[in-house]
Structure formats: C-alpha cells, structure tokens
Amino acid sequence: MTHDPPSALTGNRLTRDQADEIAHARSQPTPTLRPTVAAVEALLFQPLPVLDHGFVRVVDYMGDDAAVVQAARVSYGKGTKSVRNDEGLIRYLMRHWHTTPFEMCEIKFHVKLPIFIARQWIRHRTANVNEYSARYSVLDKEFYIPDPAQLAAQSDSNRQGRGEVLDGDEAADVLALLRADAERTYRHYQTMLNADEAGAALDPDRQGLARELARMNLTLNTYTQWYWKTDLHNLMHFLRLRADDHAQYEIRAYAEVMVDVLERWVPMTARAFRDYRLDAATLSSQAVQVVRRMLAGEPVTPATSGMSAREWRELMTVIRPE
C-alpha cells in the first residue's frame, strides 16, 4: 500500500512550543544500530490530524515485522531467507492466535483527544499511560464540537449507538448548546482559577481556587493529552475493537489513523491483521453447523437453526450481506 506523507496541520492543534519542539527533534537525527522502518521514520514526531483539534503522533517505536519472526523462531538474524516465508509465518501466528511474538514490538503515541473519548479509551488497560495533569497545569480552551453529520439521535435498537442524523434546525440547536456550555464552563473555570487564558492573574489580591478543584465542572468535550505506549499485540486488540464499524465514531477516527500507522510500521503484520481480525468474522459452533447444513443443501430457518434471533441476524449479516 502506498501512503502519502502526513499533511500539514491547520488551526490550533499545536502550541508554538510544541511545534518548535517537533521541528527541533526532527532536525536532530541520531545514528542507531537498531532496526528502523523508513515509513515510520518519515512521520516520527509529526501530528496526524484527528477530529477538529485532536491528533496522534508516533514519538517512539521498537521492532518491526522481522522482530516478530525473530521472536517466533528465537533466531538471531533476520528470520528466514525469504520475505515470502516470513510473511507466511506471521500469517500463521495471526491465524492461530499465537500472540506472544507480537508482544516483542512496542510503540508510543502522543494523543490529543476529548476527555469523554479518553475515558472510553482508558478501558484498554494493557498499556502505559501518562496524561496531562490538570492538577498541575491549566487546560487549554479547546473543545470538540461535532460535525453536523455526526449528530444523531439515540438508536432504537442499540443502547450505546446512534440512530438517524438530526435535521438541520435540531442539529443547529444542539451545536449551539454544546458551544455555549463549553464556553460558559471554561469562563467559570478561569474565574475560579483567577486567571486568564495565558495564566495571568485577573485580580492580584485574589488567590483563586486550587486547579485540582477548578477543573471539576469542565465539559467532557474539553481536550486532554496523553502519552500511550503499548505492544503490537495489544495495539491490534485495541484497533480490532475501535476501528470496527460499530465503534463510536470519535474513537474510531483515532483508530483509523492508527491503523494507517500500523500499515507503515509492520506491513506484513498489518495485512494479516486485516485478513484475520479487522475484516474477519468469528463464528460460533452453532453458526458453523448452520453454514455446513446450508452448504449441504439443507434449508435452514431461524426456527430450525438452534440460534437466538439476534445470533441469526448477525450470522446472516456475515454470510448474506445486503
């Protein structure tokens, strides 16, 4: 797969200090004897845009496809003499859920994301995380405001999903409420801190509320940042769930950017991941029996399948997509 270089960021995703830090880091290459991946080196440190103010940055990584092969064979070299054989081994490992060789590779991301997505993301506990501290620093005045196309009513059939997109007037009302609430709570946040957006005191005679308390009424669409480090196996587990079509749109937007990083970093593993995890389906023993009966020419109905109505619908979605 051919990848275009990351595009330049627009708007205020980065502070000037962050942009200067990235420029300095990229201007100071360090010689190494470790295996490197040219496609990842090309995007190292650079922010990849997500949502309206968010981004994902690769800040460090260890290992490559060859490291997976090396760990599987416990060899000291580059694996086999043939790339084709190496890819065959990786596909075998993925197909049969031999996961430990994938744990030999690691990657560290810097992520800027809305708090409500961070709280969903943190449920993936097989990672090392260090988040921006609002006890120590003042949060920036940045909020996630959805695109109107993402404003949908509650789904009638899925308690944690979206239904029909709101119409123009209703969507405009919701967007106005989101902006007004975010602006108001941030203004109150500054008042409680006795500080303006730059952190300067509004009233030298007032001390202001402690930062750890002033933050508590900020809206969940306020942006936070963290460093998130994980191994390749657990990254793929995260992406299998969060890049799925059924995942919440906002976290899926981050996952899709990270899938692109995965394809740059470990292309052979990424192909196997797509084939056996991301774009694959798992069938229960009952579903396998139903498929075998159908292949044998037997008419099978929901009533004779031995499956629940939901299981039957899910199986039909896989084998008879409309």
Percentage of the chain surpassing pLDDT 70? Answer: 89
Residues 191 and 123 in one domain: no
Residues 196 and 269 in one domain: no
Q: Are residues 101 and 238 located together in one domain of the fold?
A: yes
Calculate the alpha carbon distances from 219 to 138, 170, 189, 224, 270 in Å. Answer: 14, 21, 10, 11, 36
Instruction: Please identify, among 202, 217, 232, the residue that sits at the C-terminal boundary of a domain.
Output: 217
Q: How many domains does the chain have?
A: 3
The identity of residue 260, as a single letter, is D
| pLDDT over 60 (residue 76) | no
Q: What is the DSSP letter of 308?
A: -
Domain shared by 160 and 47, yes or no: no
Q: Which domain holds residue 110?
A: 16-139+223-278
Does the residue 100 lie in any domain? yes
Q: 207 with 232, same domain?
A: no
Statement to judge: residues 206 and 245 lie in one domain? no
Is 45 found in the same domain as 129?
yes
- Whole-number mean pLDDT of the chain? 88
Q: Residues in the chain, how many?
A: 322
Query: Do 176 and 61 share a structural domain?
Result: no
Dmax over CA atoms of the chain, in Å, equals 85
Whether residue 45 is found in the same domain as residue 100: yes
Select from 190, 217, 244 the last residue of a domain.
Answer: 217
User: Could you say which of 187, 217, 247 is where a domain stops?
Assistant: 217
Do 108 and 249 reside in the same domain of the chain?
yes
* Given 13, 57, 211, 242, the catalytic residue: 242
pLDDT in tens, 277-311: 999 999 999 999 999 999 999 999 999 999 999 99
pLDDT tens per residue, range 77-94: 555 556 678 999 999 999
Q: pTM for the full model?
A: 0.87
End-to-end CA distance of the chain: 28
Domain for residue 6, yes or no?
Answer: no
Q: Is residue 9 part of a domain?
A: no
Regarding whether 126 and 48 lie in a shared domain, the answer is yes
**At residue 6, does pLDDT exceed 70?**
no
**Closest CA relative to residue 104, chosen from 76, 58, 66:** 66
Residue 254 has a pLDDT of: 98
Choose the weakest-confidence range: 97-101, 139-143, 206-210: 206-210
135 part of the active site: no
Residue 160 binned pLDDT confidence (cut-offs 50, 70, 90): low
Q: Does residue 11 sit within a domain?
A: no
Contact by Cβ (8 Å): 195, 215: no
In this structure, is residue 5 part of a structural domain? no
Comparing 50-59, 134-143, 162-171, the range with the smallest average pLDDT is: 162-171
Residue 7 falls within a domain, yes or no? Answer: no
User: 8 lies in a domain?
Assistant: no
Q: Any residues with CB less than 8 A from the CB of 216 and at least 6 apart, and which?
A: none
Per the domain annotation, does 3 fall within a domain?
Answer: no
Q: How far apart are CA 155 and CA 175, in angstroms?
A: 19
| Residue 157 banded pLDDT, cuts 50, 70, 90 | low
d(CA 3, CA 261): 10
- Indicate whether 247 pLDDT > 80: yes
Of 116-120, 167-171, 221-225, 288-292, the range with the lowest mean pLDDT is 167-171
Of 178, 254, 249, residue with least CA distance to 219: 178
CATH code, 271 = 3.30.1360.170
Of the two residues 168 and 87, the one the predictor is more confident about is 87
* Confidence at 120, pLDDT banded by 50, 70, 90: very high
Question: What CA–CA distance (Å, rounded) separates 167 from 210?
Answer: 42
104 and 37 together in one domain:
yes
pLDDT band at 15 (very low <50, low <70, confident <90, very high): confident
